[in-house]
Amino acid sequence: MSASGPLASSSAVVLFTDGACKGNPGPGGWGVWMQFGEAERELCGGEPETTNNRMELRAVIEGLNALTRSCQVEIHTDSQYVKNGIEQWLPNWKRKGWKTAAGKPVANQDLWLALESALARHTVRWFWVKGHAGNAGNERADALANKGVPQR
């Protein structure tokens, strides 16, 4: 089975995560579809005033924090911001005192720290999936994120 399929590895918990925002900033939601073997779980939530990037981060954080013990985890996200941020940019931000390459404060530092803490308990592999391109797991996470958006 391919890494973009519903279950990339039978020994890992698979998370499909997504964020949504109605206006940016505006009301936003996050969604997670979790799988382990035949078991699955859906999570969603939202905030009345947020950004899409914050909701993308929250989805991953909430999914990881829902795990009650250390696991092998495969995270499937359509957010280059989240995947590149954790895999490439975070060490430089920390080294530079939470400043970007342009010397500006890093946006969403609180959530990057929360994500780093949530990741520390698990062995994680990251997968990027193209959003809104027919990937069943991504489409399900997107629907959950939209469900989590608070109604005005």
pLDDT at res. 10:
61
Q: Write down the architecture of domain 13-148 according to CATH.
A: 2-Layer Sandwich (3.30)
- The pLDDT of residue 59 is above 90: yes
pLDDT at site 11? 87
Residue % of the chain over a pLDDT of 90: 90
Q: Given pLDDT bands bounded at 50, 70 and 90, which one contains residue 118?
A: very high
- Annotated domain spans of the chain: 13-148
Strand partners, 95: none
For the chain, what is the mean pLDDT?
93
Beta partners for residue 44, in sequence order: 31
Q: Is 5 helix (H, G, I), strand (E, B) or coil?
A: coil
**Secondary structure E strands in 1-135:** 13-21, 26-36, 39-50, 72-77, 123-128
pTM for the model stands at 0.92
Mean pLDDT across 72-92: 97
Question: Which residues are known catalytic residues?
Answer: 18-19, 56, 78, 132, 142
Per-residue model confidence (pLDDT) at position 49: 97
pLDDT digits (tens, 9 = 90+) for 66-76: 999 999 999 99
Q: What whole-number distance in Å separates Cα of residue 120 and Cα of residue 142?
A: 26
Which is nearest to 141 in space by CA: 21, 44, 53?
A: 44
Give pLDDT, residue 9.
53
The answer on pLDDT for 14 being more than 50 is yes
Residue 37 CB-density burial (10 A; 0-12 exposed, 13-18 middle, 19+ buried)? exposed
